[in-house]
Amino acid sequence: MGIRPVTCVVLAVVLAVSGAGPAQAGGRQLLYYNHAWGTLDRATADAVAHSPYVRDFADFEVRTTTGADGKTWTGRYLRGRETYLEIFGNGDVPGSDGEPGSAGLGLSTEHDGDIEKLKTRLRGAGAHPIDFLQTRDFGDGRPVPWFDSVYLAETYQRFGAWAMEYRDEYLNDPRGKVGPAKFPGDVTRERYMPDEYRNRLMRDVTFVHLAITAADMTHTLPLLRAGGFSLRTEGRTVVATCGGTTLRIDEAPVERIGLKRAEFELNRPVDLHVERLGTSTLVVGPGKHAVWTF
């Protein structure tokens, strides 16, 4: 993980020189892909929740969480070593987030304090970061600070991206089942995520394809740039690299938005398997690769 910022800076210089697209903001990498979520139709979400194969494929959990202000959501989580994918069904999240086609993207820091550096970069680029503290209630009615987050829009149409940094109060709470720090200020995804992925096929999310509105795109790109992603524009599509997971984000009309595709690295090579989950299809193998289209 330590060499990623150097690799990304080199790629950014290559892109800038070649004219392939705008390079990342100056300085080291601050943000990495943490997870993406998408709201699907009820039949597909239920098929995911009840699939025996999905439980073999990934470290899988269906969980209802209570966050800040008592807001609750029910997600289906496919977890890897550092990254995960979260699936909602129609109505599993309050408001428009619970409507099919809605989606989100969480980008997290690896070192305590980097979210403050991110806000400095954002302000230097003319953006206005908005702070939000997310909490988690483990069931005793006493919310625990979970992560600090930064948004660039008070409201969005159907897609929201945010930066996040895990809080010590959560990382040190035994109910969170988080591993010990490997270095001072360790707020890494690897520390946060459980190790159960070792007993499943899915190792990590390597690629995510999202379609979002033009308005939501304007609030997303500055966050990616400030976080250290390299962005390449191809018509109405932006490809973001250097965040550990490649992101393809299409600008689309509202009737065509949503989570479109996810790709995964596997722990070991497997033969081809096709799993149909509602209107989606998960193709696993052959080899150490899987693709889920929605």
- Per-residue pLDDT tens digits for 135-188: 999 999 999 999 999 999 999 999 999 999 999 999 999 999 999 999 999 999
Q: Specify the pLDDT at position 48.
A: 98
Give the Cα separation of 231 and 286 in Å (integer).
30
The identity of residue 40, as a single letter, is L
Q: How confident is the model at residue 189 (pLDDT cuts 50, 70, 90)?
A: very high
Q: Per-residue pLDDT for 53 more than 80?
A: yes
Q: Per-residue pLDDT for 12 more than 50?
A: no
DSSP β-ladder status, 202-212 and 246-251: parallel
Q: How confident is the model at residue 21 (pLDDT cuts 50, 70, 90)?
A: very low
Omega prior to 286 cis, within 30 of 0:
yes
What's the mean pLDDT in 10-25? Answer: 40
Q: Per-residue pLDDT for 277 more than 50?
A: yes
Q: How confident is the model at residue 69 (pLDDT cuts 50, 70, 90)?
A: confident
Give the Cα separation of 45 and 87 in Å (integer).
7
Q: Specify the pLDDT at position 4.
A: 34
Mean pLDDT of the chain: 92
Q: Specify the pLDDT at position 2.
A: 33
Task: Give the length of the chain.
Answer: 294
Q: Per-residue pLDDT for 1 more than 50?
A: no
Q: Specify the pLDDT at position 29.
A: 97
What's the mean pLDDT in 78-98? Answer: 97
Give the Cα separation of 291 and 107 in Å (integer).
21
Instruction: Compute φ and ψ for 8, nearest 5 degrees.
Output: -70, -40
Q: Specify the pLDDT at position 27.
A: 77
Which class for 231: exposed (0-12), middle (13-18), buried (19 or more C-beta within 10 A)?
buried
